[in-house]
Each structure stands twice: as C-alpha cells, then as structure tokens.
Amino acid sequence: MSETGDRTGVDRASVHPLGQRSVAEVTLAEFATRWVMQVADVAEIGRYAAYNERLRALPRPARRIVLLGDSITEFWGDLQVLSPDGPQLINRGIFGQRTVQMLLRIQEDVIGLEPDAMVLTAGANDVRAFVGDAASAGEAARVRIGRNIASMTDIARAHGITMTIGSMTPVCDKPDAPQTLHRDPGKIREMNLWLEAFARERQFGYLDYFSALAGEDGLMQQAFTDDGLHPNPDGYQRMAEMLERSCVTQGG
C-alpha cells in the first residue's frame, strides 16, 4: 500500500473532489456546486411532495400513468382533460430539469405513486449549450442522457411499471428567441435515433413527438410554437393525439 493509499490501494488525495488543495485553490464554480448540493433540493423533490401525499391518500384508480419530464411536459398542464373517462394521467414535469434531476426524484414522483405506466420525455436541457456553440454539447449530452434514461427505466421496470419513451421535440428560431443557438437541431435528431433504438431494444413504447411537430427541414413548425422551444396549444394537441392513440393510454 502506498503512503497515500487506503486499505483498498486507492489514493484518496487523487480522487477527492478537492484533493489536497487549499481553499484558495478551489474555484468559485466548484465551491458553488458543492454548496448548492449541500443546502438545496437540487432535484426539486419538494415541488410535488404535497400533491403526491394527497394522491397516495386517495383510492387508487383502475389505471394510473405518470408523465415525467421537463418543461415540455410541465407546460402541457392538466393532462386529465385528455382522458376524462380513461386512465389517470399525472403530470410530473419540472421546468429546466436535466435527466439527472429526474433520476434523483423518480422514487418520489413516480415509484411512490405506484403507477401502471410511465411516459418519460427528457433531454431538452441536457443538450442545451450554455458555453460555446450549440453542437458543443453533443456527445457528452448523449452519454449523459443515455446513462440516466437507462437508469430510470431500469428502476421503473423493477417495480413492474410499463415504460414508454417520448422523443425530444424539435426547436426553431423566433425573432426574440433564437433557439438553435443553444440547441443543435442535428444533435436532437441524433438523440432521437438513439432513444428510438433504445426503446425498441428494451421493448418499450415510443412516442415520436418530433415527427408530429417538425417540418421537412427538421425544425419545429412555426405554427406549433410561440417561443421556438415549447409547443403551443396547437402543438400540444398534436402530441395529445399521439398519446391518445398509443397503447400506454389504452392499457396495452
């Protein structure tokens, strides 16, 4: 064993997040990240906590479906209007979330509600580039999305929950919202190819929201969005038609 190694032979100084550096050597970004992790609910688990508690206290419906996602799901609003006499549809989308945050809250917002099925639509914020051009978030985002989605679906399947994957939705530019500066349309298409192949391999359902909303150029049709990123009522109607036709809402 080395002088710095522990009983497993690992040099803890080399793998510790801060190593042996002094406080002065720690960057502001590193400190901020660790401080937020220490004091904050980074996954926003508390967001739906009271609603989840109330749901668990009510008689369980014949069929319950949870839609987990980011703002694309959250802004869809009250999903029950899509199925007033059908399965209970529960919206568990949160604005701005990445797949890792959904993974952290899946126990509370999905598993704890004991649904029959889950529809997972995620990735829009993972592929967003905050620094550099839109394509710079490509490969790292694909690996991160793939790892987190695989983990979430494994957890769901272990609890007997039927899985459906929703594709990432397209983007387009608006005069005051140049979305393609931050999200590369080509990377979104590549990610959707992976998502579809993953769903097919795992024998999950797949909802191709992208094709329902995109034009021939691969961008969101202008009529289906007001900000270039989120569907507007007409866009959500196209998504709803696809969801209603799918086996997930039909009990298949």
| Residue pLDDT, tens place only, 156-202 | 999 999 999 999 999 999 998 999 998 999 999 999 999 999 999 99
Name residues whose C-beta falls within 8 Å of residue 161's C-beta, 6 or more positions apart in sequence. 110, 111, 115, 116, 117, 118
- For residue 33, the model assigns a pLDDT of 63
Residue type, 66: V
Name the CATH superfamily for 51-250: SGNH hydrolase (3.40.50.1110)
Q: Average pLDDT of the chain? A: 87
Rounded CA gap, 50 and 55, in Å? 9
pTM, to two decimals = 0.84
CA-wise closest residue to 131 among 29, 241, 44: 29
- Inter-residue contact 251 to 90 (CB < 8 Å): no
> Which run of H or of E encompasses 65?
strand 64-69
pLDDT at position 246, please? 86
Instruction: Please tell me whether residue 16 adopts helix, strand or coil conformation.
Output: coil
**Which two tokens mark 248?**
């997930």
The pLDDT, as a whole number, for residue 12 is 44
pLDDT tens digits along 96-152: 999 999 999 999 999 999 999 999 999 999 998 876 667 767 678 889 999 999 999
How far is residue 10's CA from residue 7's CA, in Å, rounded to a whole number? 8
Question: How far is C-alpha 238 from the chain's CA centre?
Answer: 20
Give the pair of three-digit tokens for residue 60: 């369980």
Worst-scoring range by mean pLDDT, 34-38, 77-81, 145-149, 158-162? 34-38
Residue 173 token pair = 């530019």
Beta bridge partners of 206: 165
Question: Cα-flanking dihedrals φ and ψ of residue 102, to 5°?
Answer: -65, -40
3-state SS, residue 62 = coil
Specify the domain boundaries for CATH 3.40.50.1110 within the chain.
51-250
Other beta carbons within 10 Å of 123: 31
- 3-17, 27-41, 140-154, 196-210: segment of lowest average pLDDT: 3-17
